[in-house]
Amino acid sequence: MIEFDGISKRFPDGTLAVDNFSLRLPSREITVFVGSSGSGKTTLLRMINRMVEPTSGRILIDDEDVAQLNPVTLRRRIGYVMQNSGLLPHRTVLQNIATVPLLNRVPRAEAVARARELMDTVGLDAAFANRYPAELSGGQQQRVGVARGLAVNPNILLMDEPFGAVDPIVRRELQEELLRLQQELAKTIVFVTHDIDEAFLLGDHVTILARGGQIAQHGTPDEILSNPASEFVADFIGADRGRRALTLRESNGRTLVVDGTGRIAGVLGAETATGPVSVGAGGRDEHLGEITLGTEAAEAPHEVAPAVNDAPTASGVPEVDTPR
Amino acid sequence: MSWLFENFSDVWALAVTHVALSVPPILLGLIISVPLGWFAHRYRWGRGTLLTIAGLLYTIPSLALIIAMPTILGTQILDPINLIAALTLYAVALLVRTAADAFDQVSPQVLDAATALGYGPWRRFWQVQFPLAAPIIIAGTRVVSSSTVSLVTLGALVGMSGLGYLFTDGTQRSFPFEIGVGIVGTVLIALIFDLIIVLIGKALLPWSRTRRVRAKTNAETLEVTTNA
């Protein structure tokens, strides 16, 4: 468990990045910090491994105050994945993944064997082992970054907009990969993003941050979507507009779900014998499935199957581009 | 040509002296410049001061500096240390700026990542920052190497040995061939030094070649996929 206890951070230039932030992040689950720039989300993340020191307050990992720990040793037992992968350009893929175990004096052969295993875990072809990061595509580099973050088998994985710089298709792949990994590994993951869709897709818990690290709302995606705590949250998650403001429309004997922009988002599940009743792999897409319906459909008890995933649209409904 | 055969052992001895006088300024220049360059990179105020001093140093006429050295250092007039010290100063003057630039171009994000992985400051410098700055520092060292090898010939004007002796001696005896031997010898030494530095760079920095590979083909991802 990671606990923020009255954390504040004022940078030397006077900006108050985080103001009296307190929150408990449960173990073995994904907590997503989401907010626009200036919300202090990255600052909060970087305080966990002491890349940034709080001005006041404490951060506890399993009841141990991180301020009491040696920052270098602390960082070596926490996985860190960042945007643009942050790979060491002068080390091969294998060397990059084995970096932290080698810093921890794990015998070389063992570290390399473990790195090869991890390449497999994150879906990287073994042929890349001896390539340098510059020879890889953005998505492949990001996979190496994830493998490196997992190399010491840390309990905690910090992810700072790790998929922010890759194209939408690759991002979707990586997100699904992360969810698959998390089912196997069950790490305590703190994930920072400015993308609310990513937050709802990945997070067991989502913390929506306003300026200065103020918690606008914290809860499961379901709780936040069904009951936005404020105007700000409703606006931020776009609950009453665009892709999330769904209404129903009868057409050719079927009930279509139409989003706020007037586009067809999907077909209502119970009405379509051949159509997808639930969409997506794994049980996680329920967050997207339980999108709040507009008032016209509030009484409809059906399960909505939006075509936002790359699942087959057997019902013949045009696929809807997910705005990113 | 027969002159060269008859005097080959003398010329060889001069060449060996020339090498012996060239190597210390290059190495010392490198050793001094890297920390200074890092300092200039790290601290803004240090940068202005250091780079200005380096620039000024380089404007001092080389012969004047060599002649002034015994007074500054309190050494004998014919002590080779005079030449080595003067040329080291020139090497530093050239290399400090290069080293500062080299550290500047290392991606701060990569350094940040290294810290996040658990590199301590010292280890981070040696295993990440310095290796990533090295290609540019090596390029700068090649320039310094060539300039040092040619400047060593000036030592002959203040009575020091080296291939420069062939210039002064050849001029006094009005014997252009001897001067030609001196020039060719100096160029050869410079080329060999350059080759050695390039080879050392390639051995130490195998990764720096991959950048060129990447620049060559934009279809690099495609190629990687097919190879896999």
pLDDT band, residue A4 (cuts 50/70/90) = very high
Q: What percent of chain A has pLDDT over 90?
A: 65
Structure tokens, B39: 């300092």
Bridge partners of A165, per DSSP, are: none
In a domain, A276, yes or no: yes
Reply yes or no on whether the pLDDT at A3 is more than 90: yes
Reply yes or no on whether the pLDDT at B213 is more than 50: no
Of B86, B112, B91, give the one whose Cα is nearest residue B34: B91
Bridge partners of A268, per DSSP, are: A304
pLDDT at B219: 39
CATH code for position A87: 3.40.50.300
Structure tokens, A124: 């990287």
Same domain, A67 and A211: yes
8-state DSSP, B128: I
Which residues of chain A make contact with B220, given a CB cutoff of 8 A? 135
Buried b / exposed e over B183-220, threshold 16 CB at 10 Å, is: eebbeebbeebbeebeeebeeeeebbebeeeeeeeeeb
Same domain, A85 and A198: yes
pLDDT at B210: 54
Of B173, B162, B149, B146, give the one whose Cα is nearest residue B80: B162
Of B105, B98, B75, give the one whose Cα is nearest residue B29: B98
Q: Where are the alpha helices (DSSP H) in chain B?
A: 2-6, 8-42, 44-59, 62-73, 80-104, 108-117, 121-124, 130-151, 164-172, 176-204, 208-216, 220-227
pLDDT at A307: 43
Same domain, A285 and A146: no
pLDDT band, residue A286 (cuts 50/70/90) = very low
Greater pLDDT, A251 or A310? A251
pLDDT at A68: 95
Mean pLDDT of B169-182: 92
Query: A71-119, pLDDT tens digit by residue?
Result: 999 999 999 999 887 899 999 999 999 999 999 999 999 999 999 999 9
pLDDT at A315: 42
pLDDT at A163: 92
Among the candidates A218, A236, A254, a domain finishes at A236
- In whole numbers, what is the pLDDT of chain A averaged over residues? 84
Map residue A273 onto helix, strand or coil. coil
Distance (Å) of CA B184 to CA A204, B164, B172, B173, B194:
74, 11, 19, 19, 15
Query: B31-67, pLDDT tens digit by residue?
Result: 999 999 999 999 988 898 899 998 898 888 888 888 8
Map residue A206 onto helix, strand or coil. strand
Nearest chain A Cα distance for residue B208, angstroms: 7
Give me the domain span that covers residue A270: 243-306
Which residues of chain A make contact with B110, given a CB cutoff of 8 A? 86-89
Greater pLDDT, A190 or A269? A190
Q: How many domains are contained in chain B?
A: 1
Residue pair A42/A24 in contact by the 8 Å Cβ criterion: no
Which residues of chain B make contact with A72, given a CB cutoff of 8 A? 118-120
Nearest chain B Cα distance for residue A170, angstroms: 14
pLDDT band, residue B77 (cuts 50/70/90) = confident
Mean pLDDT of A126-135: 93
pLDDT band, residue A255 (cuts 50/70/90) = confident
pLDDT at A180: 94
With a CB cutoff of 8 Å and minimum separation 6, the contacts of A227 are none
Reply yes or no on whether the pLDDT at A162 is more than 90: yes
Interfacial residues of A (vs B; Cβ cutoff 8 Å): 49, 51, 72-76, 80, 82, 84, 86-92, 99-100, 103, 125, 127-128, 131-132, 134-137, 140, 148
Q: How many CB pairs below 8 A link A and B? A: 76
Buried b / exposed e over A28-62, threshold 16 CB at 10 Å, is: eebbbbbbeeebbbbbbbbbbbbbbebeebebbbe
Residue pair A158/A2 in contact by the 8 Å Cβ criterion: no
Give me the domain span that covers residue B35: 2-227
pLDDT at A297: 42
Q: How many domains are contained in chain A?
A: 2
Which residues of chain A make contact with B210, given a CB cutoff of 8 A? 131-132, 134-135
Which residues of chain A make contact with B108, given a CB cutoff of 8 A? none
Reply yes or no on whether the pLDDT at B190 is more than 80: yes
Least confident of A152-166, A170-184, B56-70: B56-70
Sign (positive/negative) of CA torsion A143, A148, A154, A156? negative
CATH code for position B179: 1.10.3720.10
Among the candidates A213, A236, A259, a domain finishes at A236
Structure tokens, A146: 């994830």
Residue pair A26/A3 in contact by the 8 Å Cβ criterion: no
Helix or strand (DSSP H, E) at A232: helix A231-237
Reply yes or no on whether the pLDDT at B204 is more than 60: yes
Reply yes or no on whether the pLDDT at B17 is more than 80: yes
* Chain A contact probe: residue of B106, B117, B130 with most A CBs at under 10 A: B117
Same domain, A74 and A92: yes
In a domain, A90, yes or no: yes
Least confident of A127-131, B52-56, B147-151: B52-56
Q: How many CA atoms lie within 13 A of A247 on its CB side?
A: 12
Same domain, A68 and A180: yes
Query: Taking CB atoms and an 8 Å limit, are B207 and A90 in contact across chains?
Result: yes
Q: What percent of chain A has pLDDT over 70?
A: 82
Reply yes or no on whether the pLDDT at A292 is more than 50: no
Mean pLDDT of B135-143: 95
| 3-class DSSP string for A33-95 | EECCCCCCHHHHHHHHCCCCCCCEEEEEECCEEHHHCCHHHHHHCEEEEECCCCCCCCCCHHH
pLDDT at A302: 46
Query: Taking CB atoms and an 8 Å limit, are A127 and B228 in contact across chains?
Result: yes
Query: B118-129, pLDDT tens digit by residue?
Result: 999 999 999 999
pLDDT band, residue B185 (cuts 50/70/90) = very high
Same domain, A159 and A200: yes
The C-alpha atoms of residue B228 and residue B211 are separated, in whole angstroms, by 20
pLDDT at B209: 67
Mean pLDDT of A177-202: 94
Structure tokens, B214: 């990447």
Is 0.90 exceeded by the ipTM? Answer: no
pLDDT band, residue A257 (cuts 50/70/90) = confident
Same domain, A52 and A187: yes
Q: What percent of chain B has pLDDT over 90?
A: 66
Instruction: Kindly report the backbone phi and psi dihedral angles of residue A110, in degrees, each rounded to the nearest multiple of 5, phi listed first.
Output: -65, -45
Mean pLDDT of B97-101: 95
The DSSP result for A91-132, as a single string, is S-HHHHHHHHHHHTT--HHHHHHHHHHHHHHTT--GGGTT--
Place of tokens 């103020």: A214
Query: Taking CB atoms and an 8 Å limit, are B110 and A125 in contact across chains?
Result: no
Reply yes or no on whether the pLDDT at A37 is more than 50: yes
pLDDT at A271: 46
Query: Taking CB atoms and an 8 Å limit, are A99 and B117 in contact across chains?
Result: yes
Same domain, A45 and A174: yes
Greater pLDDT, B5 or A75? A75
Sign (positive/negative) of CA torsion A131, A73, A163, A264? positive
The C-alpha atoms of residue A153 and residue A219 are separated, in whole angstroms, by 28
Same domain, A258 and A144: no
